[in-house]
Structure 1
Amino acid sequence: MSDQAAMSDVSSGEEAGEVCRFWGRLGIPGLIDVHTHFMPERVLRKVWEYFDALGPLTGGLEWPITYRQEEAERAALLREFGVRAFTSMLYPHKPGMARWLNDWAADFARRTPDCLHTATLFPEPDTETYVREAVEAGARVFKAHVQVGAYDPADELLDGAWGLLAEAGVPVVIHCGSGPAPGKHTGPEPVARVLGRHPRLRLIVAHMGMPEYEDFLGLAERYGEVRLDTTMAFTDFTEDFIPFPRRALPRLTDLGDRILLGTDFPNIPYPYVHQLHALERLGLGEPWLRRVCHDNAARLFGLTGTA
């Protein structure tokens, strides 16, 4: 039986205990998850409806959402898991959405102190203005979704915003790989053009850049501020259709200070703890796991103290 299947019937209390035992064994004060989704409830329900309907961007895969609780319950569950800090990844799919999403996210961060204040962007004439406003309001991380937004990250309408974020040192979690289904502007080439103009931009490539894992590892090797998050990578679900190449495992070790824990909670088709088990079974050692699950993000976001 796979790890994913074995966990399928575990209660939330049992799962929280298993998650806490995982990070307790590593001797870290908890987890830092850079890729979790909180957004206006009506928007999140639309996202869930899309997954339920097997929309084209899901690659036609069955994708049952494991954590459909209300917002407060989901945040409380992350705390039970010992997640010290998490994000509210949200994103527009058309012009005119980003500013009000940022307003919602700023309010969510105010009432959720353990959430890293998250913002987003889209190529439109006022992008640089509202990105600057979000940074000045305390945004600590941005989300860019090239696949859903169907835009070129190297669009000149984004150039000023990328420069501003590079100068401010604010990280950007960017879904730019072509998985689970390709988009018009997904893949490494558009991102390479952005980095050519803004080499100090702190991009965090979501999902390890799947399926172009090795190309995005190459960008991280070339640009010292590029990182990758583990979201859904290495899990049974993903290994069935976009396996990570075993030959690239040594590169994960070499980039051990720039790999960050991400999960996609709550929009995952398996229990949260499975992502942790999937990382552990890579066999890259406890020091690597400590960095990935806590220390790298703690350093990036200046988080100190204990849980």
Structure 2
Amino acid sequence: MEVSRDMFQIIHKEERSSEEIVRPSLSYWQDVRKRIMKDKLAMLGLGFIILIALTAIFGPMLSRYNYTAQNLNAANLAPSASHWFGTDKFGRDLFVRVLEGARISLTIGLVASILSIFIGVIYGGISGYFGGIVDNIMMRIVEAIYAIPMTIYVILIMVVLKPGLTSIIIALTISFWVTMARIVRGQIMSLKQQEFVLAAKTIGASNMRIILKHLIPNCLGQIIVTLTLSVPDAIFQEAFLSFIGLGIAAPLASWGSLASDALGGYQLYPYQLIFPALAISLTMLAFNLLGDGLTYALDPKMRR
């Protein structure tokens, strides 16, 4: 076949530029980071979370007051330059106690959420992948645990263990992991019919490898969102349990126990209740704003 000039068409400069790629190619996680950084509310929530975490870690170290030190001569002082949040009925500085409460509340929220996510992901992944009778038995167990109120777990654990940090983390973990198991199970059941799972089976991958290396990573977006939204839920549940006397015991201080201690004199000293309640509210709002932002950023359908 003879090649001639007539077989080709001259393309002008304007036509060539129309074929250029004007948007750089981004990976999934690069696109997630780009979109989450454009969400002002999500970044505001993330900024507040970082701020409260840093102040909780370093604030008590830098303060001249100790969260357990009592001074009855300085009891029930209003907020001032010396005591930014005032003092409680024992003369303890409320600012330091709120920061110490942030340590306890954030630790409980993060540890309980991470443990529940870990258990729920493995459990839900196995249940969703194998299906059939395995799925039926495992989901009946989940439903039985889900039907029991969390307060019952707390009371039973308190009978075996002493009230404290460990007890409340165990109670929250037992209560929270079932929700994660249900979410992962649903995701796995929809993904296990995909071609990449069939390809993995064809090359001889084991069931556990398929679950851990192929299916669960494809659920990572939903897992991260659930983790982000479960932290404020755990913080609120801990605050509620401490408020009714089933959570953190003295001399430790959480936001819930601080609110409980302030309840008796809130009409005379409202600031003692306002500051821990405000800390709970703002922290929960920040995590929810971040979780909402991650929901849209991690959704592949939102990519443009």
The TM-score, its normalising length taken from structure 2, stands at 0.23
Higher strand share: 1
The TM-score, its normalising length taken from structure 1, stands at 0.23
Task: Give 1 or 2 for the bigger CA radius of gyration.
Answer: 2
